[in-house]
Amino acid sequence: MTRRYLIVGPPGVGKGTQADLIATEFGIPHVSTGAMLREHVARGTELGIKAKSTMDAGNLVPDDLVVAMLAERIAMDDARDGFILDGFPRNLAQANALDDLLAGGLDLVIALSVSDEEVLRRITGRRSCANGHVYHVTDNPPKVAGICDVDGFELFQRSDDTDEVVTNRLAVYRASTAPLLDYYARIVADVDGLGTVEQVRSRVFEVIGS
């Protein structure tokens, strides 16, 4: 049985948080194109240099760059029996490219939603470490303020987490990514993203189990 899942939803809805829980539960990789791109930016690779200004503005990195990066990742051994995709595909061109890469397609699309107000509240309170561990200042705080529980690194705010950029990311989501919900209509499960991480987790695992 393969577990080829996609988690989709607006910026800050909790995709990465829930994808980590799914990955741990089923022993499949959490494949986040946003995290992969941020790693390229941090390492100063050619891809990172090309992507940085686009990401800082909250726009989509060109499809050819992202598709090549994703294709390489899901061809790795640990993704043979499945993966949880987070942040890819983000438009119809990327969905078509994924169809070409995957015989049999995806098994399930988990569509998370919350209001724009909650998106802003979650994103402005988000703190991350250099290894991608994510916290929220009030809802999911680290044990020691400003320090990652897992690796002791200092926590920081993402450069694309300002009010202005989040507003653009929401607009990009509506224009380019939300139409994927129709594209995948046959395998979409809608999940209310409001509530604690644990409450949302229960809903997510219910749709995976069904």
List of residues contacting ligand AP5 (CB under 6 A): 11-17, 33-34, 37, 54-55, 58-61, 66, 87-88, 90, 94, 122-123, 125-126, 134-136, 139-140, 160, 169, 195-197, 200
Active site residue 50: no
Nearer residue to ligand AP5 within complex by CB, 108 or 194: 194
In angstroms, the first-to-last Cα distance of the chain is: 14
Give the shortest CB-65-to-ligand AP5 separation in angstroms.
8
Give the shortest CB-92-to-ligand AP5 separation in angstroms.
12
Active site residue 122: no
Active site residue 169: yes
Residue in 126, 127, 201, 203 annotated catalytic: 126
Give the shortest CB-5-to-ligand AP5 separation in angstroms.
14
Residue in 4, 15, 73, 203 annotated catalytic: 15
Q: Which residue's Cβ has the minimum distance to ligand AP5?
A: 34
Give the shortest CB-1-to-ligand AP5 separation in angstroms.
26
Q: Do the Cβ atoms of 18 and 111 come closer than 8 Å?
A: no
**DSSP states of the chain as a string?**
--EEEEEE-STTSSHHHHHHHHHHHHT--EEEHHHHHHHHHHHT-HHHHHHHHHHHHTPPPPHHHHHHHHHHHHTSGGGTTEEEEES---SHHHHHHHHHH-TT--SEEEEEE--HHHHHHHHHTEEE-TT--EEETTTB--SSTTB-TTT-PBPB--TT-SHHHHHHHHHHIIIIITTHHHHTGGGEEEEE--S-HHHHHHHHHHHHH-
Residue in 38, 73, 90, 201 annotated catalytic: 90
Residue in 3, 38, 73, 169 annotated catalytic: 169
Active site residue 158: yes
Active site residue 15: yes
Nearer residue to ligand AP5 within complex by CB, 58 or 82: 58
Active centre residues (catalytic): 15, 90, 126, 158, 169
